[in-house]
Amino acid sequence: MSYNCIVIVREVWDTRDLTGSVLADNGSIKDSMLTRFEPEDMNALEMALRIKDEHGGKVTAFSVGTPKQVDVLRECLYRGVDEVVRVDAGASSLGTQAAAQLLADAIGKAGQYDLICVGVTVADGESSMLGTHVAGKLGIEQVSYVDAIEEIGEGRVVGKRGIEMGYEYIEAPLPALLSVGVALVEDDPRTPRSAKAMLKLKAKKAEIPSADVDASAVTSPVSIAGREAVPERAVESKDVAAEDETALKSMLDDVLKGE
């Protein structure tokens, strides 16, 4: 029995090791800010690819909007998905609800599927609930924090979730949407499964089809109404020698007093 899996992938700001101000004078995000393939979505992609490896079938990746720096769909092709679909977001940036609606429309038109995988916590805070909303709009079951697939078959999927002192297993009927957690990730998914230049070349040259959905039909009443910078708090750094117990104590006191 083979399975058709869908993965939803996102390009997000790379918020690691930030230095200096993120915003330019005009309030937009600076050119020096990099983006990356949302690593949690990459875990979801890895989950789908493993199902394909084990049971056969195909993996299709969906992404909303035009790429800024990293074309996550081409990256998906490079990492081994069979098909990709770009969902046009129109001119403005979308709220979570609107993006979910467009994705649900596009997925609904893409034919039969068994499983949708998506990363659970996303650096772009506002879109962390994207998977949940897509499931809601498609009318399918959704399970959060699925860290691994334990079993799939006979119209059901059993997910494994790491919990305090052990695991729990969650069963859901297919088709289902799984928000993929990170508790059981063994390998760093950043390392491509097949680091092949050939695949990269093919991915570079591939035509990326657009979903047949109407972005203008989806209104997004949520938008960023403005930005305000919080003045930076001046922090006086102090050097305390590790051997100097009195100084260490007074530093601790200061910390406890909240100074």
Partner 1 sequence: MSAEDTVKVDAIVVGGGPGGLAAALTMAQGGLEVILVERGEYAGSKNVGGLFYGTILNQLIPDAFKQAPIERTVSKRSITYLGDGTHMSLTFGADAWSQPPYNNTYVVHRAQFDRWLASQVEEAGATLLEGMVVDGLIYEGEGAGRKAVGVQLRGDEAFYADVIVLADGANCLVSEKVREELAMPGGKIKQEYAVGVKEIISLPKETIEARFNLKDNEGVAYDFLGVPFEGLIGGGFIYTAKDSIHLGSVARIESLVESGFTPSGLNDRFKQHPAVSRLIDGGELLEYSGHMLPEGGYDAIGSLTANGVMIVGDAAGLLNMSLYKEGTNHAMESGMYAGQAAVAAKEKKDYSRSGLALYEEKLAEGIALKDVKKYKDLPDILTSAPELLSLYPKKINQLMVDYFTVNAEPKAVTQKAAMKNFMKDMSKIKLLRNAFKARKLM
Partner 2 sequence: MGKILELTVEDKLYTTKYETDSRSHIKVNGDLCRTCSSKPCLRFCSGDVYKINPSEPDQVTVNYENCLECGTCRHGCPFNAIDWQYPDGAMGVKYRYG
Contact set with partner 1 (CB under 8 A): 19-21, 25, 31-32, 69, 195-198, 200-201, 204-205
Q: Choose between 69 and 250: whose C-beta lies nearer to partner 2.
A: 69
Which of partner 1, partner 2, none does residue 50 bind to, with CB < 5 to 8 Å depending on kind?
none
Buried b (16+ CB within 10 A) or exposed e, 133-171: bbbebbebebbbbbbbbeebeeeebebbbeeeeeeeebe
Contact 115, 3 (CB under 8 A): yes
Mapping DSSP to helix (H, G, I), strand (E, B) and coil, where does residue 153 land? strand
Distance of CA 234 to CAs 136, 238, 248, 258, Å? 46, 13, 21, 15
Q: Choose between 20 and 111: whose C-beta lies nearer to partner 1.
A: 20
Q: Choose between 3 and 37: whose C-beta lies nearer to partner 2.
A: 37
Which of partner 2, partner 1, none does residue 16 bind to, with CB < 5 to 8 Å depending on kind?
partner 2
Contact 50, 83 (CB under 8 A): no
Q: Choose between 137 and 193: whose C-beta lies nearer to partner 1.
A: 193
**Chain residues that interact with partner 2, rule: CB under 8 A:** 16-17, 19, 32-34, 188, 195, 237
Residue type, position 48, single letter: A
Closest CA to 10 of 124, 149, 116: 124
C-beta of 69: minimal distance to partner 1 in Å?
7
Which of partner 2, partner 1, none does residue 207 bind to, with CB < 5 to 8 Å depending on kind?
none
Residue 6 neighbours by CB under 8 Å, 6+ apart: 48, 59, 60, 61, 62, 107, 110, 113, 115, 116, 117
C-beta of 113: minimal distance to partner 1 in Å?
30
Which of partner 1, partner 2, none does residue 237 bind to, with CB < 5 to 8 Å depending on kind?
partner 2
* DSSP code, position 190: T
Q: Choose between 230 and 235: whose C-beta lies nearer to partner 2.
A: 235
Which of partner 2, partner 1, none does residue 25 bind to, with CB < 5 to 8 Å depending on kind?
partner 1
Q: Choose between 26 and 223: whose C-beta lies nearer to partner 1.
A: 26
C-beta of 236: minimal distance to partner 1 in Å?
16
